Each structure stands twice: as C-alpha cells, then as structure tokens.
Structure 1
Amino acid sequence: MSISRIYTGGCQCGAVRYRAEGTLGDPHLCHCRMCQKAAGNYFMPLANAPLASFRITRGEPSWFHSSQFARRGFCAACGTPLFYDMPGADFINIVLGSLDDPYDVRPLTQSGMESCVPWFSHLPGLPGKETDAASDAGAERHLAILETNRQHPDYDTEHWPPEE
C-alpha cells in the first residue's frame, strides 16, 4: 500500500529538513548489517520517494558512501540518519523515523533477513511501560527534559533554533 501526499521530515536538531510529494513506495524494514550500523539499531525503516518531487528545504545533509552502490545521508550536527541513496536511481529512500509523522507510513515488507537478530520476533512479548512521569522523581525529570528540549518540532519552522 502506498499513500500519495506531502511528507516532511528532518533531523533531530533541525539543521536538515526535507519535503517529498507524492507516493512513498516500498515501505520496509531493512535488517542488513549495513543498515544496522548506519541506524545504530537492529533495523532501518525505509521508503522511497521520487527524486522529481523530493527536495531539501533546510541545510545540507552530509553523505557517507557505504558501498560503491549507495550513500547514506545524515545530519552532521546531530547524527540523525535521513536517507539511503543509490546515485543514478530516480528515487531516494527516506528513513521513516525522520518523518514528522512517522505513523503515516507502515512498513509492508522486510529485507536483509540474513542479518535479522534472532530474537527480533520476541520483542512484542517484552513487558512495556510508558515514560515514567508518575513518581515525583519521574515527573521532575520529565519536566526538566521538556524545559531543556532542543529537539526540532515535528513540523516545518521558519527559523531554528527559535529566537530568544
């Protein structure tokens, strides 16, 4: 399933922002070892956007050529992984966690299964909890994080960081 619309996203610090219009195709989780290393995680969620309707709207990503076939775009200031690009292709893969609304694109397949951690399928069975704001210490910590948060909001801003 692909959804046609306008997608915006960017890095954690707001130095790099992008916009993709149209359909994000092939939404998937890649478990290959290169994606694990690039994401610093067990997998990387990706979907491709047509280059004709994609543009960087703020800053410039840095690029790491992870192989002769691909390069990976990221923010040099905060390290957020943003793109997986195959030069010469007519699309760019967007890292789905960098979307302003990552819930909009549901992965439909998985790739790189040879490197999938063997216990990955057991994750839904782990006990879970929400961020602890119920205790006094938890509420104090939560408030301190909110007051000192330097993360860019999940929408485009004219200026960032905000002017004091």
Structure 2
Amino acid sequence: MHKGSCLCGAVTFTVEGDLAAPTACHCTKCRKHTGHYEAGTDVKRSALTVSGEENVTWFWSSEKVRRGFCATCGSSLFFDPPQRDWIGIYMGAFDTPTHVKLAMHIFVADKGDYYDIADGLPQNQQ
C-alpha cells in the first residue's frame, strides 16, 4: 500500500498494489499546473481511496481531462481523464517510498528553456 497527501493534510489517499513506473510530462499545461514538469503514475480507480475528497477542487484543463488539487493549500494531486478506468497521481504527493523510477519523458518539445533533460531516459517529442 502507498500513502500520500497534500501539503496541509486536508486530502490524504492510499493506493493498493504496486505503482507503475512514472512518466515526466513537460507539456505547457502540466508545467503551468505544477510549477515545473509533472511526474506521475497511473493507477486503477479501484485501487485509489481518497479521504477529504470534499477538499479536492477539480479544474477542467481540456475537454477530456481534469486536474485535482487541494482547495486549502493548492497542492497538485491528480490528473483525471474521467472516461478512462485509471487516474494519474503526481509523484510528489506520495508520503511513503514508492520504489519506482522514472521511465520516460513526454512532450519534451514543449519543455521549459530553463532546464535540460540529461538523465538518459527515453524522450518523446509528443
């Protein structure tokens, strides 16, 4: 089981089972939402339990995806395409060791000009 929370603790969550290797998204929307690039893992909805869900505010960043953050402290927590059977969780929200390593970078054509990607992982332009 993996546990996580927002910065203030108003939202906590648990994930049953192992986590998939996360990806790092460098698209403009993820960078704007998180303040840098976003690293997240996708989990089955049935594996996620959220406490304090009333403190999660959802922002529709496109017609197909909404992003969840804590209404109290503003912590970015979730990337949710409601039509899918999974939900993304931002790696920085986990409290416990995750025992996973970043798998790849996506949307690197949109990355910020203030950093380089030099970790040797695969990079997809889109």
Bucket of the pairwise TM-score, normalised by the shorter protein: 0.7 to 0.9
For 1:82, give the aligned amino acid: L
Q: Among residues 39, 49, 60, which one is paired with 2:43 in the alignment?
A: 49
Does residue 110 of structure 2 align to residue 100 of structure 1?
A: no
For 1:17, give the aligned amino acid: T
Larger Rg: 1
Distance 2:117 2:83 in 1: 38
Q: Among residues 60, 63, 69, which one is paired with 1:65 in the alignment?
A: 60
Distance 1:108 1:12 in 2: 26
What are structure 1's unaligned runs of at least 5 residues? 1-5, 125-164
Q: CA RMSD in A?
A: 1.9
Distance 1:107 1:123, change over 3 A: closer
Deviation for aligned residue 1:32: 0.3
Moved over 4 A (4+): none
Distance 1:117 1:111 in 2: 13
- What TM-score do the two structures reach when normalised by structure 1? 0.66
Higher relative contact order (CA 8 A, sep 6+): 2
Deviation for aligned residue 1:96: 0.2
Of all paired residues, the percent bearing the same amino acid is 34
Partners of 1:64 and 1:72 within 8 A in 2 = yes
Distance 1:50 1:58, change over 3 A: same
What are structure 2's unaligned runs of at least 5 residues? 120-126
Higher strand share: 2
Distance 2:23 2:76 in 1: 16
Partners of 1:96 and 1:105 within 8 A in 2 = no
Higher helix share: 1
